[in-house]
């Protein structure tokens, strides 16, 4: 049976990440060049679809975008329920859950996360603002250890906890206490704090 090596998996993940950055950058620059609505960047995608694509293709693209959003939302809801049950409920409970109990919890968590997502979307009308707000919590915690694993480095528990604490504190302090000086997002500062604490914790643990 064919087995994919760890090296191939790492290269595939890094290439995919690079394609996402390249596609987003080129698409955004094209939208800026073709339009004069830079101050309304959230309208770039609808503007390009409406003005550059023919009527038939336009409908297909819109349907594709909606299907992508629905598929992503479904995956996030399912992932949230799975992670909550396997990483929180089961370890804390100690007693195994029956299939009926696990299914009920999955439905309950899906419903709660869905309601919170709707409230979140209503409170923050811009899609980009929602993404940046979510990434301010996600990136300072996950990016550094995830990158270390993909590159083949060993992630210790001390390094992960130290990086997580430093990333969260750095992002919150930069955004809320210092009010994001020079317009730099706390996401960047949180990732840098995570990286520094992660490296220091791993070096101290080895020594």
Whether 24 is in a domain gets the answer no
**For residues 144 and 198, is the Cβ–Cβ distance under 8 A?**
yes
Question: Which pLDDT value is given to residue 40?
Answer: 57
Evaluate whether residue 23 is within a structural domain. no
Residues 104 and 169 in one domain: no
- Determine the 3-state secondary structure of 144 from DSSP: helix
State the Cα angle at 124 between 120 and 125, rounded to 5°.
120
pLDDT > 90? residue 193: yes
Does residue 17 fall inside a structural domain? Answer: no
Residues 118 and 133 in one domain: no
Which residues fall within 8 angstroms of residue 161, CB to CB, at 6 or more apart? 201
Residue 11 located in a structural domain: no
Question: In which residue are the tokens 């629905």 written?
Answer: 70
Average pLDDT on 81-97 reads: 85
Checking if the pLDDT of 3 tops 70, the result is no
Report yes or no on 20 lying in a domain.
Answer: no
Residues 184, 141: one domain? yes
List the one residue out of 39, 37, 62 whose CA is nearest residue 50.
62
The answer to whether position 13 is within a domain reads: no
Per residue in 7-22, pLDDT tens?
Answer: 777 777 777 777 777 8
> What does the pLDDT look like over 133-178, one tens digit per residue?
777 888 898 889 888 887 888 888 888 889 999 999 998 899 888 8
The structural domain count of the chain equals: 2
Q: Is the domain of 67 the same as that of 115? A: yes
Final residue of a structural domain among 123, 156, 183: 123
Q: What is the CA radius of gyration of the chain?
A: 21
Tell me what the mean pLDDT of segment 60-82 comes to. 85
- Domain shared by 93 and 133, yes or no: no
Domain check: are 152 and 168 in the same one? yes
One domain, residues 119 and 132: no
139 with 70, same domain? no
Query: Can you give the pLDDT at residue 204?
Result: 83
Torsion-angle region of residue 182: left (phi > 0), alpha (psi -120 to 50) or beta? Answer: left
The torsion angles phi and psi of 89, rounded to 5 degrees, stand at: -65, -50
Phi, psi of 193 (to 5 degrees): -65, -40
What average pLDDT does this structure show over 18-34? 72
Residues 136 and 79 in one domain: no
Provide the residue range defining the domain that includes 195. Answer: 126-207
pLDDT at 1 exceeding the cut of 60: no
Residue 174's contacts (CB-CB under 8 Å, 6 or more residues apart) are 180, 181, 184, 186, 189, 190
Q: Are residues 42 and 97 in the same domain?
A: yes
Is residue 121's pLDDT more than 70? yes
With respect to residue 196, please indicate whether it lies within any of the assigned structural domains: yes
pTM exceeds 0.75: no
């Amino acid at each position: 049976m064919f087995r994919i090596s760890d090296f191939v998996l790492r290269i595939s993940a890094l290439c995919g990440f690079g394609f996402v950055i390249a596609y987003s950058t080129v698409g955004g620059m094209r939208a800026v060049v073709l339009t004069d609505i830079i101050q309304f960047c959230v309208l770039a995608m609808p503007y390009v679809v409406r003005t550059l694509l023919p009527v038939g293709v336009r409908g297909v693209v819109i349907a594709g975008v909606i299907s992508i959003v629905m598929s992503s939302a479904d995956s996030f809801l399912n992932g949230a329920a799975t992670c909550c049950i396997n990483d929180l409920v089961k370890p804390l409970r100690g007693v195994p859950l029956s299939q009926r109990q696990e299914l009920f919890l999955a439905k309950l968590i899906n419903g709660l996360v869905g309601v919170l997502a709707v409230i979140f979307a209503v409170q923050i009308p811009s899609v980009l603002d929602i993404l940046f707000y979510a990434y301010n919590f996600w990136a300072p915690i996950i990016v550094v250890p995830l990158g270390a694993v993909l590159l083949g480095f060993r992630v210790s528990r001390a390094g992960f906890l130290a990086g997580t604490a430093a990333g969260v504190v750095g992002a919150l302090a930069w955004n809320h206490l210092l009010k994001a000086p020079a317009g730099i997002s706390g996401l960047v500062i949180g990732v840098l704090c995570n990286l520094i604490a992660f490296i220091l914790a791993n070096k101290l643990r080895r020594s």
